[in-house]
Protein backbone atom coordinates (compact mmCIF):
# COMPACT_ATOMS: atom_id res chain seq x y z
CA UNK A 1 0.00 0.00 0.00
CA UNK A 2 1.29 3.45 -0.95
CA UNK A 3 1.94 5.58 2.10
CA UNK A 4 -0.37 8.49 2.81
CA UNK A 5 1.51 11.79 2.75
CA UNK A 6 0.79 14.06 5.70
CA UNK A 7 2.05 17.55 6.55
CA UNK A 8 1.75 18.72 10.16
CA UNK A 9 2.70 21.96 11.87
CA UNK A 10 6.09 21.92 13.55
CA UNK A 11 5.10 24.10 16.54
CA UNK A 12 4.85 22.98 20.18
CA UNK A 13 1.05 23.01 19.90
CA UNK A 14 1.28 19.96 17.62
CA UNK A 15 3.50 17.87 19.91
CA UNK A 16 0.57 15.86 21.36
CA UNK A 17 -0.53 14.88 17.85
CA UNK A 18 3.01 13.89 16.85
CA UNK A 19 3.37 11.86 20.05
CA UNK A 20 0.18 9.97 19.26
CA UNK A 21 1.24 9.28 15.68
CA UNK A 22 4.71 8.12 16.73
CA UNK A 23 3.25 5.75 19.34
CA UNK A 24 0.69 4.25 17.00
CA UNK A 25 0.83 1.62 14.21
CA UNK A 26 -0.48 4.35 11.88
CA UNK A 27 3.11 5.64 11.69
CA UNK A 28 3.97 2.76 9.35
CA UNK A 29 1.24 3.85 6.91
CA UNK A 30 2.30 7.47 6.45
CA UNK A 31 5.01 9.74 5.16
CA UNK A 32 5.06 12.61 7.69
CA UNK A 33 6.64 16.03 7.19
CA UNK A 34 6.73 18.84 9.76
CA UNK A 35 6.29 22.35 8.36
CA UNK A 36 5.26 25.88 9.23
CA UNK A 37 1.48 26.46 8.84
CA UNK A 38 1.68 28.28 5.51
CA UNK A 39 3.78 25.47 4.01
CA UNK A 40 1.32 22.83 5.30
CA UNK A 41 -1.41 24.65 3.41
CA UNK A 42 0.67 25.10 0.25
CA UNK A 43 1.57 21.41 0.13
CA UNK A 44 -2.09 20.40 0.46
CA UNK A 45 -3.28 22.97 -2.08
CA UNK A 46 -0.58 21.85 -4.55
CA UNK A 47 -1.40 18.14 -3.98
CA UNK A 48 2.07 17.40 -2.61
CA UNK A 49 0.43 15.74 0.41
CA UNK A 50 -2.89 13.98 1.01
CA UNK A 51 -3.65 15.35 4.49
CA UNK A 52 -2.48 18.52 6.20
CA UNK A 53 -2.93 20.21 9.54
CA UNK A 54 -3.63 23.53 7.88
CA UNK A 55 -4.69 27.04 8.93
CA UNK A 56 -8.46 27.37 8.82
CA UNK A 57 -8.26 30.38 6.48
CA UNK A 58 -6.60 28.16 3.86
CA UNK A 59 -9.43 25.59 3.74
CA UNK A 60 -11.40 27.35 0.95
CA UNK A 61 -8.29 27.16 -1.28
CA UNK A 62 -7.87 23.37 -0.95
CA UNK A 63 -9.44 21.37 -3.81
CA UNK A 64 -12.03 18.88 -2.51
CA UNK A 65 -11.32 19.95 1.08
CA UNK A 66 -12.69 17.67 3.79
CA UNK A 67 -12.06 17.97 7.52
CA UNK A 68 -11.16 14.38 8.44
CA UNK A 69 -10.56 14.35 12.20
CA UNK A 70 -12.42 14.96 15.43
CA UNK A 71 -9.37 16.91 16.66
CA UNK A 72 -7.96 20.33 15.79
CA UNK A 73 -5.80 23.16 17.12
CA UNK A 74 -8.19 25.43 18.97
CA UNK A 75 -8.82 27.42 22.11
CA UNK A 76 -11.73 28.44 24.27
CA UNK A 77 -10.62 31.98 25.04
CA UNK A 78 -6.97 32.95 25.45
CA UNK A 79 -4.50 30.70 23.62
CA UNK A 80 -1.23 32.41 24.65
CA UNK A 81 0.50 31.95 21.29
CA UNK A 82 -1.47 34.03 18.76
CA UNK A 83 -0.96 37.73 19.37
CA UNK A 84 -1.25 41.29 18.22
CA UNK A 85 1.84 42.76 19.91
CA UNK A 86 1.85 46.54 19.98
CA UNK A 87 3.78 49.56 21.17
CA UNK A 88 0.57 51.63 21.35
CA UNK A 89 -3.01 50.96 22.56
CA UNK A 90 -5.10 49.14 19.98
CA UNK A 91 -7.21 52.21 19.24
CA UNK A 92 -4.01 54.02 18.18
CA UNK A 93 -2.65 51.29 15.89
CA UNK A 94 -2.20 52.55 12.33
CA UNK A 95 0.30 50.07 10.87
CA UNK A 96 0.68 46.31 11.40
CA UNK A 97 3.34 43.87 10.21
CA UNK A 98 1.79 40.52 9.30
CA UNK A 99 3.25 37.15 10.24
CA UNK A 100 4.60 35.28 7.18
CA UNK A 101 3.87 31.88 8.69
CA UNK A 102 0.07 31.81 9.00
CA UNK A 103 -2.78 32.99 6.81
CA UNK A 104 -5.32 32.35 9.59
CA UNK A 105 -3.71 34.54 12.24
CA UNK A 106 -3.20 37.41 9.80
CA UNK A 107 -6.82 37.23 8.74
CA UNK A 108 -7.98 36.90 12.34
CA UNK A 109 -6.08 40.09 13.16
CA UNK A 110 -7.71 41.87 10.21
CA UNK A 111 -11.18 40.67 11.26
CA UNK A 112 -10.70 41.72 14.88
CA UNK A 113 -9.15 45.08 14.10
CA UNK A 114 -11.97 45.94 11.69
CA UNK A 115 -15.01 44.47 13.44
CA UNK A 116 -14.08 44.17 17.13
CA UNK A 117 -11.64 47.01 17.78
CA UNK A 118 -13.05 49.12 14.90
CA UNK A 119 -9.79 50.68 13.76
CA UNK A 120 -8.52 51.28 10.22
CA UNK A 121 -5.07 49.82 9.76
CA UNK A 122 -2.47 49.54 7.00
CA UNK A 123 -0.86 46.12 6.76
CA UNK A 124 2.57 45.16 5.45
CA UNK A 125 4.52 41.96 4.86
CA UNK A 126 7.84 43.82 4.60
CA UNK A 127 10.07 42.24 7.29
CA UNK A 128 12.10 45.44 7.57
CA UNK A 129 9.13 47.76 8.01
CA UNK A 130 8.75 49.64 11.29
CA UNK A 131 5.12 49.42 12.44
CA UNK A 132 2.98 50.16 15.49
CA UNK A 133 2.18 46.46 15.95
CA UNK A 134 3.06 43.01 14.68
CA UNK A 135 1.21 39.72 14.36
CA UNK A 136 3.15 36.85 15.88
CA UNK A 137 2.18 33.20 16.35
CA UNK A 138 3.42 29.90 17.65
CA UNK A 139 6.70 29.17 19.39
CA UNK A 140 8.18 32.50 18.28
CA UNK A 141 5.84 34.24 20.74
CA UNK A 142 7.37 32.45 23.73
CA UNK A 143 9.10 35.02 25.92
CA UNK A 144 8.19 37.94 23.64
CA UNK A 145 5.21 39.48 25.43
CA UNK A 146 7.39 41.57 27.74
CA UNK A 147 8.99 43.20 24.69
CA UNK A 148 5.80 45.15 23.94
CA UNK A 149 3.68 47.67 25.80
CA UNK A 150 0.38 46.10 24.76
CA UNK A 151 -0.47 42.45 24.18
CA UNK A 152 -3.74 41.27 22.63
CA UNK A 153 -4.39 37.52 22.72
CA UNK A 154 -6.49 36.89 19.62
CA UNK A 155 -8.18 33.80 21.02
CA UNK A 156 -9.37 35.88 23.96
CA UNK A 157 -10.42 38.81 21.78
CA UNK A 158 -12.32 36.55 19.36
CA UNK A 159 -14.30 35.10 22.25
CA UNK A 160 -15.06 38.59 23.59
CA UNK A 161 -16.25 39.55 20.11
CA UNK A 162 -18.31 36.45 19.18
CA UNK A 163 -18.82 34.42 22.36
CA UNK A 164 -17.32 31.45 20.50
CA UNK A 165 -14.14 29.38 20.78
CA UNK A 166 -11.73 29.46 17.85
CA UNK A 167 -10.21 26.85 15.56
CA UNK A 168 -6.78 27.84 14.23
CA UNK A 169 -5.97 24.70 12.26
CA UNK A 170 -7.80 21.56 11.16
CA UNK A 171 -6.81 18.20 9.73
CA UNK A 172 -7.92 18.44 6.09
CA UNK A 173 -7.70 16.00 3.15
CA UNK A 174 -7.76 16.96 -0.52
CA UNK A 175 -9.01 13.58 -1.78
CA UNK A 176 -10.98 10.58 -0.50
CA UNK A 177 -9.01 8.68 2.17
CA UNK A 178 -9.82 5.06 3.16
CA UNK A 179 -12.22 5.02 6.11
CA UNK A 180 -10.18 2.43 8.01
CA UNK A 181 -7.12 4.68 7.83
CA UNK A 182 -9.09 7.72 8.98
CA UNK A 183 -10.34 5.77 11.99
CA UNK A 184 -6.80 4.64 12.86
CA UNK A 185 -5.42 8.14 12.33
CA UNK A 186 -8.04 9.74 14.58
CA UNK A 187 -7.33 7.12 17.23
CA UNK A 188 -3.63 7.98 17.05
CA UNK A 189 -4.35 11.70 17.49
CA UNK A 190 -6.58 10.90 20.45
CA UNK A 191 -3.80 8.83 22.00
CA UNK A 192 -1.57 11.88 21.92
CA UNK A 193 -4.19 14.08 23.57
CA UNK A 194 -4.69 11.46 26.29
CA UNK A 195 -0.95 11.50 27.00
CA UNK A 196 -0.22 15.22 27.17
CA UNK A 197 1.50 14.76 30.54
CA UNK A 198 4.01 12.38 28.89
CA UNK A 199 4.48 14.87 26.05
CA UNK A 200 5.28 17.63 28.55
CA UNK A 201 7.81 15.45 30.39
CA UNK A 202 9.80 15.08 27.17
CA UNK A 203 9.80 18.76 26.23
CA UNK A 204 12.58 21.13 27.31
CA UNK A 205 11.82 24.03 29.63
CA UNK A 206 11.33 27.14 27.50
CA UNK A 207 11.78 30.62 28.96
CA UNK A 208 8.68 32.78 28.82
CA UNK A 209 6.05 30.03 28.57
CA UNK A 210 4.54 27.53 31.00
CA UNK A 211 4.37 24.56 28.62
CA UNK A 212 2.13 22.51 30.92
CA UNK A 213 -0.40 25.35 31.23
CA UNK A 214 -0.20 25.98 27.49
CA UNK A 215 -0.82 22.40 26.35
CA UNK A 216 -3.30 21.43 29.06
CA UNK A 217 -5.33 24.59 29.61
CA UNK A 218 -4.80 27.14 26.83
CA UNK A 219 -5.09 24.85 23.82
CA UNK A 220 -8.28 22.91 23.24
CA UNK A 221 -7.94 20.02 20.79
CA UNK A 222 -11.50 18.75 20.48
CA UNK A 223 -13.29 19.66 17.25
CA UNK A 224 -16.70 20.70 18.54
CA UNK A 225 -19.81 22.04 16.85
CA UNK A 226 -19.04 25.42 18.43
CA UNK A 227 -15.62 25.47 16.77
CA UNK A 228 -17.15 24.55 13.42
CA UNK A 229 -19.63 27.38 13.89
CA UNK A 230 -16.71 29.71 14.66
CA UNK A 231 -14.90 28.52 11.52
CA UNK A 232 -17.88 29.33 9.33
CA UNK A 233 -18.33 32.75 10.93
CA UNK A 234 -14.62 33.51 10.60
CA UNK A 235 -14.57 32.57 6.91
CA UNK A 236 -17.62 34.80 6.38
CA UNK A 237 -15.80 37.72 8.02
CA UNK A 238 -12.74 37.08 5.83
CA UNK A 239 -14.89 37.23 2.70
CA UNK A 240 -16.07 40.69 3.79
CA UNK A 241 -12.62 42.18 4.39
User: How many other C-beta atoms lie within 10 A of the C-beta of residue 234?
Assistant: 22
pLDDT in tens, 13-39: 999 999 999 999 999 999 999 998 889
pLDDT at 85: 98
Mean pLDDT of the chain: 96
Q: pLDDT at position 50, please?
A: 98
Query: Which pTM was predicted?
Result: 0.94
Pairing, β 95-97 against β 122-124: parallel
pLDDT at residue 115, as a whole number? 98
4-9 sheet: strands from edge to edge: 30-35, 4-9, 51-55, 166-173, 66-75, 220-222
- 132 — pLDDT class (breaks 50, 70, 90): very high
Please report the domains of the chain, with CATH numbers, ordered by start residue: 4-73+165-239 (3.40.190.10), 82-162 (3.40.190.10)
DSSP letters for 20-65? HHHTSGGGGGEEEEEE-HHHHHHHHHTTS-SEEEEEGGGGGGSTT-
Mean pLDDT of 42-64: 96
Q: What is the pLDDT of residues 204-230, one digit of tens each?
A: 888 889 999 999 999 999 999 999 999
Mean pLDDT of 221-240: 98
- pLDDT tens digits for 162-180? 999 999 999 999 999 999 9
How confident is the model over 68-87, as pLDDT tens digits? 999 999 999 999 999 999 99
Q: Assess contact for 109 and 154: CB atoms under 8 A.
A: yes
- What's the pLDDT band for 198 if we cut at 50, 70, 90? very high
Provide the pLDDT for residue 137.
Answer: 93
* pLDDT at residue 222 in the model: 98
**DSSP-assigned letter for residue 176:** -
Amino acid sequence: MEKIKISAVSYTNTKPFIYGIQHSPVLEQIDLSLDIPSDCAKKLIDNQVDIGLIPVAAIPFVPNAQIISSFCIGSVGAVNSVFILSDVPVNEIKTVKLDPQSRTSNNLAKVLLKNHFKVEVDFTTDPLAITDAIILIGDRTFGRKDDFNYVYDMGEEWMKFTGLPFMYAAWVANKPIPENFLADFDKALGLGIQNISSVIENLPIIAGIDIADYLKYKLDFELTEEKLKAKDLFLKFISEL
